[in-house]
């Protein structure tokens, strides 16, 4: 059972970072409901992607589920904006990885494809997710990539996608798609600088691997 006095003491000493996931969730929906929600939940990242109905089944009230989904969406958007500021210049594949990592956590079990237009100093103009699910050339629109780049007057662009398996090694389809994007960039005059494959804590640059 959660003791409010103990939670309050830890909060005073350490702030929110000193509280467990159960204690944090208790502050949002109450201790009894938080215990019910987390009971038997092996991976709490599920709460990032669960819909309102799923949250209600686990123990949220309908109103709590709505507020929770809105809070998660707001937090992810603010994290995205913070990363634009903190990592406004992409100097290496690891910079791109750090920029995209918080966004990938929104859908940790699905492949996602991102477009990152940049200015002449490799500063990020925006990040847009253009595909969600199983990725191949049929699901990733080359024109959509460069429509976004042109709309933001980009000098160059990088693209990226994640492998939910955690293995960042590119597949033959990844390499073929990267070549198509690069060829299209040459035609429109917006260089495709790199494609990053993101795994679990690691990433692979297709430029560094010699595929661009």
Facing residues of 205 across strands?
A: 196
Ordered by start, the domain boundaries in the chain are 4-77, 88-205
Note whether 174 and 136 are within 8 A (CB). no
Assess whether pLDDT exceeds 90 at residue 179. Answer: yes
> For 22-43, what is the mean pLDDT?
87
Per residue in 36-61, is it b (16+ CB within 10 Å) or e — as a string?
ebbeeeeeeeebbebeeeebbebbbe
Which pLDDT does position 136 carry in this prediction? Answer: 45
pLDDT at 91: 87
Q: What is the token pair recorded at 50?
A: 């669960």
Report residue 3's pLDDT band, with 50, 70 and 90 as the boundaries. low
CATH topology of domain 88-205: Cytidine Deaminase; domain 2 (3.40.140)
What percentage of the chain reaches a pLDDT higher than 90? 39
- Asked whether residue 82 carries a pLDDT value surpassing 70, the answer given is no
- The answer to whether residue 6 scores a pLDDT higher than 80 is no
Q: What is the pLDDT of residue 145?
A: 93
DSSP, residue by residue, 47-114: HHH--HHHHHHHT--HHHHHHHHHHHHHHHHHHHHHHHHHT-B--SHHHHHHHHHHHHTTSTTS-EEE
pLDDT of residue 181: 95
């Amino acid at each position: 059972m959660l003791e409010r006095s103990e939670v309050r003491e830890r909060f005073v000493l350490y702030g929110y970072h000193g509280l467990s996931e159960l204690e944090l969730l208790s502050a949002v929906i109450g201790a009894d409901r938080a215990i019910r929600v987390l009971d038997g939940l092996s991976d709490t990242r599920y709460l990032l992607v669960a819909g309102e109905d799923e949250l209600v089944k686990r123990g949220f009230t309908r109103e709590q589920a709505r507020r929770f989904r809105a809070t998660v969406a707001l937090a992810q958007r603010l994290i995205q904006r913070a990363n634009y500021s903190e990592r406004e210049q992409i100097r290496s594949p690891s910079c791109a990885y750090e920029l995209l990592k918080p966004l990938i956590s929104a859908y940790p079990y699905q492949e996602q494809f991102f477009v990152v237009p940049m200015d002449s100093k490799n500063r990020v103009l925006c990040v847009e997710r253009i595909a969600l699910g199983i990725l191949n050339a049929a699901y990733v629109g080359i024109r959509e990539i460069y429509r976004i780049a042109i709309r933001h007057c980009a000098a160059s662009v990088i693209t990226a996608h994640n492998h939910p398996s955690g293995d960042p090694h590119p597949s033959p389809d990844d390499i073929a798609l990267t070549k198509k994007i690069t060829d299209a960039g040459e035609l429109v005059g917006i260089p495709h600088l790199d494609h990053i494959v993101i795994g679990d804590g690691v990433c692979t640059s297709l430029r560094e691997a010699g595929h661009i």
